[in-house]
Structure 1
Amino acid sequence: MDYKALSLLFLIFLVSTEARPIEDQATFANVNEIVTEHYELDIFIDFSRKVLSGTNTLYMRRTADSLDVVYLDVWDLNIYQILDQSGNKYEFHIDDPNPNLGQRLSIFIPEDLSTSETFNFTISYETSPDAQAISWLSPEQTSGKKLPYMFTQSEPILARSLAPFQDTPSIKSTYVVNTTTHVQFVTRVSGNMTYDYTDCMIRYSTFEMNIPVQSYLLAIASGNLVERKVGNRTYVITEPEEIEKVANEFSELEDFLS
């Protein structure tokens, strides 16, 4: 066996692997040119229309030498407006849908901003009633039969139907989620709740995730919800009628984290 030849081939493989950019065939995002470091989602959960409406503000950092367009993943979203932190409007375009991947949202960067180090985009949008990441249950479909119930499940590439994202495992971001609902609905998000306030029959809640995670790990639930602590760091969240059963089922959850 020619060990010198094998060693040479191995070195060539290492060099070619290190030089290869990230390639994810399931995203439209140009993640080799710009990355999302943080986002702030501000949404109203509209049970009557079965949509989420609001804004997603992306805090992005350029990694390419210059940038003339930002590509994001969307899926059946109505995009109304895109602004930067100074209130400047950005031109944008949404491609025709791919039945398996959704759509590409293109945000066009003016030439005088092409070498900016950071970009903050506030995207005003609304989801579709048929958004693949969102499930809407009628009161009759719940255990309590009192209120409708909404929950999300974004794996593997469905977060793009929830909000505009660089929807790929190669991008991890921290986030803040602000939710607004009618007062009877309790909302929980995959993050620490930092604010919960009711005024004029409206409930406002804020949640923070300070550990960078992929977009598909964002989870939102809203309805007639209660929570119970089952460990020093763990809680279960469900309907009141199910809380005893669920708390017992996940009573050892804290042990799994030890």
Structure 2
Amino acid sequence: MAPLSSAVRPAAPPAPDPHSYAGQGTQLVRHLRLHLAVDFAQRTLAGTATWLLTEPVGAASASDSAGGTLVLDTRELRLDSVSLGEAAAGPAAAYALAPADAVLGQALHIQLPAGTAAVSIRYRTAPGAAALQWLAPAQTAGEFPFLFTQSQAILARTWLPCQDSPGIRFTYEATVEVLGSERGQLLALMSAENPQQTAANGRYQFRMVQPIPAYLMALAVGRLDFAPLSERTGIYAEPATLARATYEFADLEQMVATAEQLYGAYRWERYDLLVLPPSFPFGGMENPRLTFVTPTILSGDRSLTSLVAHELAHSWSGNLVTNATWNDFWLNEGFTVYFERRIMERLYGSTYADMLQVLGEADLHHTIAELGASSPATHLRLHLAGRDPDDGLNDIAYEKGCLLLLTLERLVGRPRLDAFIKEYFARFSFQSMDTATFIGYLRQQLLDPAPGLAERLSLGAWVDGPGLPANAPVARSARFEAVAAVRAQFGAGTPAAVLAPATAGWSSHEWVHFLQGLSPTLPAAELAALDAAFGFTASGNAELLAAWLPLALRAGYTPADAALTQFLLHVGRRKFLVPLYRALLATPGGRARAQEIYRQARPNYHSVATSTLDALLA
């Protein structure tokens, strides 16, 4: 493997991070050499993490260091040894593990004698490591086991001793060896330069030359094939899924090119997708070079690919310029939602993007109602110290953040805002950004040169105020207005079958809007008529089912019961699971039924989902 150049030195010390112990030490990491063995039989990763350290401020090189302390984040890792230098067999290091915290895990304090440039840690993961999802063959689309990681927000520390803060970046190289009799049939992939074919010896090498934070570390191992879509894009998926996926994502290269036209060059060389088994807890995860996506967006009509546009947009917003801490999460997601919809508008027109904006605003209003319009949890700038940051990763950051940018667009004009965003990504590439620094930059570049603009924007009300400011824009969708007209006809007594011609060509978004606007008290007989006309219960579209099944539950429409059970048993996407289990709990006898389904389904869910559902269904 060719040597890697050293990582870019941080422009400034990282912001204090309440969710990482790294700030307790004097040293930061800059490069990782990782050797891991993947053991499906034991459900463990085991190997060595060698961390190369940054030079202390004022030192000409690491060898000039006067010593100090390196503090890493760990959670439920078994440490076999900690050594000084780049070899696991080097001199033993003095180290100590702090008491465990339920959210943060344990701080690993390593004492560094003068001249220490690297440390090596031999370790293994726990079988129940929260970031790791080990799947038996029956839980996949084929006949082989599967492993994938989900490191965001602070779960990287459950499979790697690291400085698990979004404000700390490093490059890495890795060797991954798959153990067991199936090793020659399983492909390993990471958020790095990736192979496209299975190695007979089960041994794979990776490197990531752009510095990334720990939450973007990713690993997947399974029976996977690859299909190229262009010179720089392609799809990895299980063989049974690959054909559907390549059809669904045929516009991927166009998406990348469109994103570049908007906000500058794509800086990560390749952009590939990995379609995971259904237990993946999110729609997608923006791991650099290799976005993880859920198979629930394989609708057959390419109408759910805005999710891919969202993950692609993270290649600029989040991966290139990263929220400094999880309190600043809106800087990742607000920009990304805005960027995603600009991509979709360029590719499919403004009427399509308008639908996405209306749906997003509806989700936002629902979240604000749940949290309370005056709740600090509805601020953009969060205060999550002492809590799992996953608690704050909701529609406020995504949709309120997007609305702030839309408000700014209306005030300064799209060309001026585009120039600002493009320069922002270029100026702060491969750096972290906190809310205070961003506000200062925004004022300097856009607000202060235009007298009165800051007052019209009401930036403080957006960032540190509850709910939505009075100047928040409200989206309209001509296509949704046509949907509402059809829905009104149904409400006025027009038979569902008569309405079918008016629905020809509807996208998934139009169907979801139709269902979400129906009266929640519709009787079972009317649902039966809708089902007979449009086949909702038998739909293979996860978004439609997630909108349809709560209606069926409330009405006691029993023909949908089996579809609900199958959906909950096989789909692990938290966005769908939580509302469906809540709807089930609200029915007579629903708690017992929900708990029985959950008992069977829980092994199929990632810990990101079970951490929420365990409390809901206790």
Shared fold (TM-score greater than 0.5)?
yes
Alpha-carbon spacing, 1:190–1:101, altered in 2? closer, same or farther (3 Å): same
Q: 1:90 is aligned with what amino acid?
A: A
Q: 1:108 is aligned with what amino acid?
A: Q
TM norm structure 2: 0.36
Name which of 16, 21, 44 aligns with 1:23.
Answer: 16
Query: What CA distance in whole angstroms lies between the structure 2 residues aligned with 1:32 and 1:89?
Result: 19
Task: Please say which of residues 148-157 and 67-76 is displaced more in the overlay.
Answer: 67-76
Structure 1 contact 175–209 (Cα < 8 Å) conserved? yes
Structure 2 contact 186–198 (Cα < 8 Å) conserved? no
Structure 1 contact 45–179 (Cα < 8 Å) conserved? yes
- Structure 1 residue 45: Cα displacement: 0.3
Q: 2:29 is aligned with what amino acid?
A: T
Task: Please say which of residues 32-41 and 226-235 is displaced more in the overlay.
Answer: 32-41
- Structure 1 residue 85: Cα displacement: 3.1
1:222 aligned onto 2:225:
no
Task: Please say which of residues 49-58 and 94-103 is displaced more in the overlay.
Answer: 94-103
- Structure 1 residue 20: Cα displacement: 9.0
Correspondences of 1:83-232 after superposition (within 5 Å):
83=83, 84-85=85-86, 87-110=90-113, 113=114, 116=115, 119-144=117-142, 146-181=143-178, 182-193=183-194, 198=199, 202-232=201-231
Cα distance per residue 1:32-69 (max 9 Å; x no partner): 73221110111000000000000111111143574432
Structure 1 contact 58–122 (Cα < 8 Å) conserved? yes
Structure 1: 5+ residue runs without aligned partners? 1-18
- Structure 1 residue 93: Cα displacement: 1.3
Cα distance per residue 1:83-114 (max 9 Å; x no partner): 2237111021112211111110111123xx1x
Q: 1:107 is aligned with what amino acid?
A: I
| Paired residue secondary structure (1:192) | coil
Structure 1 contact 74–164 (Cα < 8 Å) conserved? yes
1:75 aligned onto 2:75:
yes
- Structure 1 residue 236: Cα displacement: 1.3
Query: What CA distance in whole angstroms lies between the structure 2 residues aligned with 1:21 and 1:179?
Result: 30
- Alignment-derived partner of residue 240 in structure 1: 239
TM norm structure 1: 0.83
Cα distance per residue 1:99-134 (max 9 Å; x no partner): 111110111123xx1xx3x62111100001111111
| Paired residue secondary structure (1:193) | coil
Name which of 14, 28, 41 aligns with 1:35.
Answer: 28
| Paired residue secondary structure (1:30) | helix
Q: Relative contact order (C-alpha < 8 Å, sep 6+): which is higher?
A: 1
- Structure 1 residue 80: Cα displacement: 0.8
Task: Please say which of residues 57-66 and 221-230 is displaced more in the overlay.
Answer: 57-66
- Structure 1 residue 73: Cα displacement: 0.4
Query: What CA distance in whole angstroms lies between the structure 2 residues aligned with 1:217 and 1:187?
Result: 16
Structure 1 contact 195–207 (Cα < 8 Å) conserved? no
- Structure 1 residue 162: Cα displacement: 1.2
Cα distance per residue 1:146-182 (max 9 Å; x no partner): 1110001100111011111111111111111111012
- Alignment-derived partner of residue 53 in structure 1: 46
Q: 2:93 is aligned with what amino acid?
A: Y
| Paired residue secondary structure (1:55) | strand
- Structure 1 residue 188: Cα displacement: 1.0
Alpha-carbon spacing, 1:170–1:21, altered in 2? closer, same or farther (3 Å): closer
Task: Please say which of residues 101-110 and 149-158 is displaced more in the overlay.
Answer: 101-110
Task: Please say which of residues 98-107 and 189-198 is displaced more in the overlay.
Answer: 189-198
Query: What CA distance in whole angstroms lies between the structure 2 residues aligned with 1:77 and 1:23?
Result: 24
RMSD: 2.2
| Paired residue secondary structure (1:245) | helix
| Paired residue secondary structure (2:50) | strand
Structure 1 contact 197–204 (Cα < 8 Å) conserved? no
Structure 2 contact 196–225 (Cα < 8 Å) conserved? no
- Structure 1 residue 196: Cα displacement: 7.8
Structure with the higher fraction of residues in strand conformation: 1
Q: 2:148 is aligned with what amino acid?
A: F
Query: What CA distance in whole angstroms lies between the structure 2 residues aligned with 1:53 and 1:125?
Result: 6
Q: 1:148 is aligned with what amino acid?
A: P
Correspondences of 1:2-17 after superposition (within 5 Å):
none
What fraction of aligned residue pairs are identical, expressed as a percent?
30
Larger radius of gyration: 2
Query: What CA distance in whole angstroms lies between the structure 1 residues aligned with 2:198 and 2:26?
Result: 40
Query: What CA distance in whole angstroms lies between the structure 1 residues aligned with 2:236 and 2:173?
Result: 20
Task: Please say which of residues 127-136 and 180-189 is displaced more in the overlay.
Answer: 180-189
Structure 1 contact 31–166 (Cα < 8 Å) conserved? no
- Alignment-derived partner of residue 335 in structure 2: none
Alpha-carbon spacing, 1:60–1:195, altered in 2? closer, same or farther (3 Å): farther
Structure 2 contact 184–198 (Cα < 8 Å) conserved? no
Structure with the higher fraction of residues in helix conformation: 2
- Structure 1 residue 31: Cα displacement: 7.4
